[in-house]
Amino acid sequence: MRCVSMVRMRNLFVGLIGLGAFSLTACGGSSSNSGGGCGTASACGGDVVGTWQVSSSCVAVDSSSMMGTMSCPDATESTSGTKITGTITYTADKTFSSNLTTSGTIVVTLPASCLTQQGVTVTCAQLQQVLSSTMNSTFSSATCTESGGGCACSVALNAVTTSETGTYSTAAGVLTQTDSSGTPDDSNYCVQGGKLSISAGSSAMSNGLTGLIVLTKQ
């Protein structure tokens, strides 16, 4: 391989895998629990007033818009161990507040055709070095290993906490949350046996996350 500077390699491959786009506007690709595997909450409704702590979560992100920013169309993404923790409080006066933390790992798989950019070919070890030098407040580590002639790179997210406040309403098993931006978000919900289940689409599951969260009343 020809000798190239670390700066050039970094510029090539940060652009290649769209690392700059990996903020929590997309917390990864399709989760290992993606699609129907996460299930949905039944729209049984119920009284949501109280403070609820997340007891389990199954989340995924549709990363199709992010993949469009990559210079290698054959690259793929997934997430591993993505989860939500924290609490949501609903008051009798129809306001809510949430404090939720999202964490997980992004896995980017690059076929051999992706490893040559502008006449420069790199190994998985070199790609790992480039990614590791690009870590910021969103990412904590990067590991790249050989996979099918290409590379699979796991980029660990630092846990990111998001706090929201706003108003809510419930009707016919649908929870509508309107955050401080004024944008309403509807989700099926169900309260049964001290558990609150919320399907994808609520403000509680911000940053484009889809799936199902289950909370326990405190």
Query: What confidence tens digit (pLDDT) does each residue in 98-154 have?
Result: 999 888 887 888 899 888 877 878 889 988 887 787 776 667 888 999 999 999 988
Residue 163 lies in a domain: yes
pLDDT band at 97 (very low <50, low <70, confident <90, very high): very high
Place of tokens 């870590």: 135
Place of tokens 């690709």: 29
Residue 1 lies in a domain: no
Rounded Cα–Cα distance for residues 195 and 115 (Å): 48
What pLDDT sits at residue 37? 55
Residue 35 lies in a domain: yes
**Residue range 52-77: mean pLDDT, rounded:** 67
Query: Out of 66-70, 86-90, 143-147, which region has the weakest mean confidence (pLDDT)?
Result: 66-70
What pLDDT sits at residue 217? 98
Residue 180 lies in a domain: yes
Range among 24-33, 84-93, 109-118 with highest mean pLDDT value: 84-93
Residue 14 lies in a domain: yes
Instruction: Flag whether the pTM goes above 0.85.
Output: no
Place of tokens 């786009």: 21
Residue 89 lies in a domain: yes
Higher pLDDT, 28 or 111: 111
Residue 203 has pLDDT above 60, yes or no: no
Rounded Cα–Cα distance for residues 152 and 155 (Å): 10
User: Tens digit of pLDDT for each residue in 167-201?
Assistant: 999 999 999 999 888 988 888 999 999 999 998 65
**Could you give the number of structural domains in the chain?**
1
**Residue range 41-64: mean pLDDT, rounded:** 84
The three-point CA angle 94-186-84 to 5° equals 90
* Domain limits for position 189: 6-217
Structure tokens at 80: 């591993």
Residue 72 has pLDDT above 80, yes or no: no
Percentage of the chain beyond pLDDT 70 is: 71
As beta bridge partners, residue 138 has none
**Residue range 28-40: mean pLDDT, rounded:** 45
